[in-house]
Amino acid sequence: MKTTRLEAFSDGVIAIIITIMVLEMKAPHGESIEALMPIFPVFLNYVLSFIYIGIYWNNHHHLFHTTEKVSGAILWANLHLLFWLSLFPFATAWMGENHFASVPTAAYGVVLLMAAIAYWVLQRTIITSEGRGSVLKLALGSDWKGKTSPLLYGIGIAASFWSHWLAQGVYVLVALLWLVPDRRIERTIQQREN
Amino acid sequence: MKTTRLEAFSDGVIAIIITIMVLEMKAPHGESIEALMPIFPVFLNYVLSFIYIGIYWNNHHHLFHTTEKVSGAILWANLHLLFWLSLFPFATAWMGENHFASVPTAAYGVVLLMAAIAYWVLQRTIITSEGRGSVLKLALGSDWKGKTSPLLYGIGIAASFWSHWLAQGVYVLVALLWLVPDRRIERTIQQREN
Amino acid sequence: MKTTRLEAFSDGVIAIIITIMVLEMKAPHGESIEALMPIFPVFLNYVLSFIYIGIYWNNHHHLFHTTEKVSGAILWANLHLLFWLSLFPFATAWMGENHFASVPTAAYGVVLLMAAIAYWVLQRTIITSEGRGSVLKLALGSDWKGKTSPLLYGIGIAASFWSHWLAQGVYVLVALLWLVPDRRIERTIQQREN
Amino acid sequence: MKTTRLEAFSDGVIAIIITIMVLEMKAPHGESIEALMPIFPVFLNYVLSFIYIGIYWNNHHHLFHTTEKVSGAILWANLHLLFWLSLFPFATAWMGENHFASVPTAAYGVVLLMAAIAYWVLQRTIITSEGRGSVLKLALGSDWKGKTSPLLYGIGIAASFWSHWLAQGVYVLVALLWLVPDRRIERTIQQREN
pLDDT tens sequence across D140-190: 777 778 888 999 999 999 999 989 889 999 999 999 888 865 566 656 666
pLDDT of residue D185: 60
pLDDT of residue A117: 95
Give the global pTM. Answer: 0.88
pLDDT of residue B181: 55
Pick from C94, B23, C37, C23: nearest CA to D83: C23
Chain A residues whose CB is inside 8 A of the B94 CB are: 27-28
Higher pLDDT, D66 or A170: A170
Query: Distance from D74 to chain A by nearest Cα, in Å?
Result: 20
Q: Do D11 and A13 touch (CB under 8 A)?
A: no
The enclosing H or E element of D181 equals none
Percent of chain D at pLDDT > 90 equals: 40
How wide is the angle at C-alpha A58 spanned by C-alphas A57 and A60, nearest 5°?
65
Give CA–CA dist B157/B171, Å, rounded.
Answer: 9
The yes-or-no verdict on residue A182 having pLDDT over 60 is no
Contact A44, A107 (CB under 8 A): no
Residue A69: pLDDT band (50, 70, 90) is: confident
Q: Do C93 and B27 touch (CB under 8 A)?
A: yes
Residue B191: pLDDT band (50, 70, 90) is: low
**Burial (CB count within 10 angstroms: exposed 0-12, middle 13-18, buried 19+), residue A34:** exposed
Chain A residues whose CB is inside 8 A of the D181 CB are: 72, 75
**Burial (CB count within 10 angstroms: exposed 0-12, middle 13-18, buried 19+), residue D147:** exposed
Strands annotated E in A45-95: none
Contact A101, A162 (CB under 8 A): no
Residues in chain D: 194
Query: Distance from B73 to chain A by nearest Cα, in Å?
Result: 9
Q: Where exactly are the structural domains of chain B?
A: 3-193
pLDDT of residue D39: 79
Which amino acid belongs to residue D157? I
Q: How far apart are the first and last CA of chain C?
A: 29
Search chain C and give the residue with CA nearest D98. Answer: C31
Q: Do C97 and B27 touch (CB under 8 A)?
A: yes
Q: What is the CB neighbour count within 10 angstroms for residue A54?
A: 22
Chain C residues whose CB is inside 8 A of the B179 CB are: 76
Least CB–CB distance from A93: residue in D15, D27, D54 = D27
Pick from B78, B126, B1: nearest CA to A58: B1
Chain B residues whose CB is inside 8 A of the C8 CB are: 8, 11
Residue A94: pLDDT band (50, 70, 90) is: confident
User: Count of H helices and E strands in chain C?
Assistant: 10, 0
Give CA–CA dist D154/D148, Å, rounded.
Answer: 10
Which amino acid belongs to residue B77? A
Which amino acid belongs to residue D178? W
Q: Please check whether residue B38 touches C, CB under 8 A.
A: no
Chain B residues whose CB is inside 8 A of the C79 CB are: 50, 54
B61-120 pLDDT per residue, tens: 878 877 777 888 898 999 999 999 999 988 988 888 887 788 999 999 999 999 999 999
Search chain B and give the residue with CA nearest C94. Answer: B27
The yes-or-no verdict on residue C186 having pLDDT over 90 is no
pLDDT of residue A122: 93
pLDDT of residue A15: 92
Pick from A193, A192, A122, A106: nearest CA to A154: A106
CA distances (Å), origin D105, targets B126, C44, D38, D169: 54, 22, 17, 11
Q: Please check whether residue C37 touches D, CB under 8 A.
A: no
SS3 D137: helix
Q: Do D9 and C8 touch (CB under 8 A)?
A: no
Give CA–CA dist C26/D91, Å, rounded.
Answer: 10
Q: What is the CB neighbour count within 10 angstroms for residue A188?
A: 18
Pick from D85, C19, D53, A55: nearest CA to B16: C19
B2-54 pLDDT per residue, tens: 788 888 899 999 999 998 888 777 777 777 888 878 778 888 888 999 999 99
Residue C127: pLDDT band (50, 70, 90) is: confident
Among A20-29, A42-51, D53-62, D115-124, which is the least confidently predicted range? Answer: A20-29
pLDDT of residue C192: 66
pLDDT of residue D88: 92
How wide is the angle at C-alpha C95 spanned by C-alphas C93 and C101, nearest 5°?
155
Residue A193: pLDDT band (50, 70, 90) is: low
Q: Do D103 and C32 touch (CB under 8 A)?
A: yes
Q: Do D57 and A9 touch (CB under 8 A)?
A: yes
Q: What is the mean pLDDT of residues C95-107?
A: 86
pLDDT of residue A133: 75
Which of A76, A85, A99 should be substituted to probe chain D, the one whose Cβ sees the most D Cβ atoms within 10 Å?
A76
Q: Please check whether residue D34 touches A, CB under 8 A.
A: no
Q: Please check whether residue A190 touches B, CB under 8 A.
A: no
The yes-or-no verdict on residue A123 having pLDDT over 80 is yes
Which of B42, B71, B85, B90 should be substituted to probe chain A, the one whose Cβ sees the most A Cβ atoms within 10 Å?
B90
Q: C123 CB contacts (<8 Å, ≥6 apart)? A: C63, C136, C140, C143, C146
3-state helix, strand, coil in chain A (%, to 5): 80, 0, 20
C65-86 pLDDT per residue, tens: 777 778 888 989 999 999 999 9
Residue A14: pLDDT band (50, 70, 90) is: very high
